[in-house]
Structure 1
């Protein structure tokens, strides 16, 4: 676990230890909202009056894309017990939510396979935990993440910003590491290779809904053009719309 994930885990543990129910709810939601904001600073987080409810979300993420309002509900759960979470995935699928555990899923786990399959089948349900969100905010540790900031790793920043908006399937700390690596070129300032783009496309197709994966792929293509010395020739081969 990173320093950030340890810190948010302790923050949630402290909140849960309170004897005041209102303090528990407020403390937990504030800790989660902090991690959500770190990934999607352009979005608005709405805290609802519910807590750990069966079909009413704890938080709602709201944002604008190409001038249109969009949103995604976030349901908090104490843990990701596979048999219970699989039921959540099925019953909440129409809401296209994020099902977020307050404790980390221990992977590899023999029970993670069926849960991963159910989350994948739901197509627009993201099942993850607060540790994974914290790890995604600083995927390489504090020092290295500073070196791979928004200017040096713009593709990684786009992945971070779109994870809660368009992510899908089961996302564990191991998945976070793979996703972050796929979005971070080994050398900054160099033309992205075909192999890098192929790996990035494969990973985003797996971990993002189709429309979000397409936008990320087009972003990668534009980034490649920006680093290319043959921009004019390459631009003629692109078509389609790239939104926010």
Structure 2
């Protein structure tokens, strides 16, 4: 791509090429590059026309099916512009002036010609200044996208960067819960952008205001009272806002769901999405996960990180060394994920289950099985070993119910899956910390790293481990006799379910 300071010069040189066909080619090539630099999310398609009265020179389209027609203009005669705007079969044309000096001199005429419409008039030099500003200003990234899709009015000279100044001050003011600077931005955005684009940017501005603990009732604009960012506004925020302020991402993400995360483009905003997820681990719930071994997976030497959030297909994933976990809001949503049988011996399960709050364990030996349960506290792994020895043959663990900080999880070892039990609102972090070590062999350092990466504080400032410590109950005495029949442990005593008499 050409240097951003060169677009106007490229257009100027192209206009004076002695070959008419070569001149058109060079001019349109330079304009296409500048439009792409303005908004890289747009697909800029050239037409076969040039400086035509009502046929566009370009059509810009976006993944959400929005489109905008672009018309190149070499002269700015008032009567001609009024006539052109009337003939153009578009409610929001982007009119691109090719000669800077004339566009500035004709500004009053241009504004009169496009008044009352959603048309936007601009020129190469004005856009160059905004494009150059994108390197260091996240609000300029948001604004350039919004202008491309829905800017209106005249933007010549320094007007595009002056608008960027107002918007930047507005976001700074919103972060400080300052009414004056925020109000100026809200009003200017509403005036200079079409309805949908103005609403989207002001909704993100509101999110910054609320994220900085500003009251919604004092937000200086038309507030969205839905209580959470919709997916479009959230996508806009993570793509264009540049901050690693954990408190900010925590405040704007309190209503975050798995469905919201699935709507985001990780390729465009991986660092921001990571910050958003990590800051809101205490509120993001997940219903199910399937863990997959990945021998060629995440490489710390390459990525610089042992753990991260990602997206595979339409699913959110947690990536760790040699494994990844696919996460969903329901187990049925993960039906397309391959599952491989993974029988686990009792001995292997006991090794995996250390420091785990086992509520119920199903042990199999061929067609026979025993379910060991304790309603009073965690099941002793030594008790499981004793039960397995009563079979007199090889034994495996098929299904386990495990206690977590936010609810019980059913772990299916052959499927390598974990599912929140009944209607429990299990947090995604708890689901992963509970399921992963039970369904795959994880080295101690990785296990500890996963627990640390997924650690969060609750509203009382307690971490997951501190909460578990408060909930600990004494272990049942592992020396209590066991039966080689389907059994239950109730109140610390093993009983035959067919009898009410303790054994």
Task: Give 3-state SS (helix, strand or coil) of 1:163's partner.
Answer: helix
2:161 alignment counterpart:
177
Task: Give 3-state SS (helix, strand or coil) of 1:53's partner.
Answer: coil
Are 1:215 and 2:195 an aligned pair? no
Cα drift, residue 53 of structure 1: 1.0
CA contact under 8 A between 1:215 and 1:242: conserved in structure 2?
no
Distance 1:21 1:108 in 2: 26
Distance 2:54 2:171 in 1: 45
Q: How does 1:24-173 map to 2 (within 5 A)?
A: 24-65=23-64, 69-92=65-88, 94-104=90-100, 109=105, 112-122=107-117, 124-139=118-133, 146=135, 148-150=136-138, 155-173=139-157
Cα drift, residue 107 of structure 1: 7.5
CA contact under 8 A between 1:103 and 1:131: conserved in structure 2?
no
CA contact under 8 A between 2:170 and 2:183: conserved in structure 1?
no
CA contact under 8 A between 1:168 and 1:207: conserved in structure 2?
yes
Cα drift, residue 95 of structure 1: 4.5
CA contact under 8 A between 2:68 and 2:149: conserved in structure 1?
yes
Cα drift, residue 177 of structure 1: 3.0
Cα drift, residue 32 of structure 1: 0.7
CA contact under 8 A between 1:93 and 1:125: conserved in structure 2?
no
Task: Give 3-state SS (helix, strand or coil) of 2:169's partner.
Answer: coil
Structure 1 residues 233 and 213, CA, compared in 2 at 3 Å: closer, same or farther?
closer
Cα drift, residue 131 of structure 1: 1.6
Q: What RMSD, in angstroms, separates the aligned Cα atoms of the two structures?
A: 3.1
Cα drift, residue 117 of structure 1: 3.2
Cα drift, residue 84 of structure 1: 2.0
Cα drift, residue 106 of structure 1: 5.5
Structure 1 residues 238 and 107, CA, compared in 2 at 3 Å: closer, same or farther?
same
Greater RCO, 1 or 2 (C-alpha within 8 Å, sep 6+): 1
Which piece of structure 1 moves more, 28-37 or 10-19? Answer: 10-19
Are 1:204 and 2:186 an aligned pair? no
Cα drift, residue 46 of structure 1: 0.2
- Provide Cα deviations, 1:56-114, integer angstroms capped at 9, x if missing partner: 1111101023xxx11111000113333322222222263421111111255774x5334
Larger Rg belongs to = 2
Q: Which runs of 5+ in 2 are unaligned?
A: 237-503
Q: Which runs of 5+ in 1 are unaligned?
A: 140-144
TM-score, normalised with respect to structure 1: 0.79
Q: How many residue pairs were aligned?
A: 225
Greater fraction helix: 1
Cα drift, residue 128 of structure 1: 1.4
